[in-house]
Structure 1
Amino acid sequence: MEKNVSTWDRAIRVLLGVGLIGATVMGSIGAWGWVGVVPLATGLVGFCPLYRVCGCKRCAAKS
């Protein structure tokens, strides 16, 4: 898998994912907060399947 998510995008995804999961565990939001697993996983891995489908590439091209 080629990485297609930039460093800043990955950081935002990880923070968003952890925030949603944390809010769910604390009981602040409902079970829908477990959707935070998706941005957390894509942020940690550095690959977003949706970016591939739509042709987006946020990483700088490597030579």
Structure 2
Amino acid sequence: MNLKQNMGTVDRALRAIVGVILLALVFVGPQTPWGLIGIIPLATAAIGWCPVYLPLGLSTCGKKT
């Protein structure tokens, strides 16, 4: 399986922010275990590849020259 990056810098940054906010829900605020879902956007931001983009043919990476 080819894990070619399909996420741009802005996409990765937004996912990282959302992931941290969701994980914070585990420790502060409503302290709900649903905040563990934040691991998913953090992981995809870290590797730069989103599995949902693949079947949809999406990519937020800029054009390579």
Whether TM-score is above 0.5 comes out as yes
Name the count of aligned residue pairs: 63
| Deviation >6 Å, runs of 4+ | none
The runs of 5 or more residues in structure 1 that have no matched partner are none
List runs of 5+ in structure 2 lacking aligned partners: none
Aligned to 1:20: 22
Amino acid corresponding to residue 37 of structure 1 in structure 2? I
User: % of aligned pairs identical?
Assistant: 38
Question: TM-score, normalised to structure 1's length?
Answer: 0.88
Which TM-score applies when normalising by structure 2?
0.86
Alignment of 1:8-47 (within 5 A): 8-47=10-49
1:1-53 Cα deviation digits (max 9, x unpaired): 21101100100000000111012122524111100000010011100000011
> RMSD over aligned Cα, in angstroms?
1.3
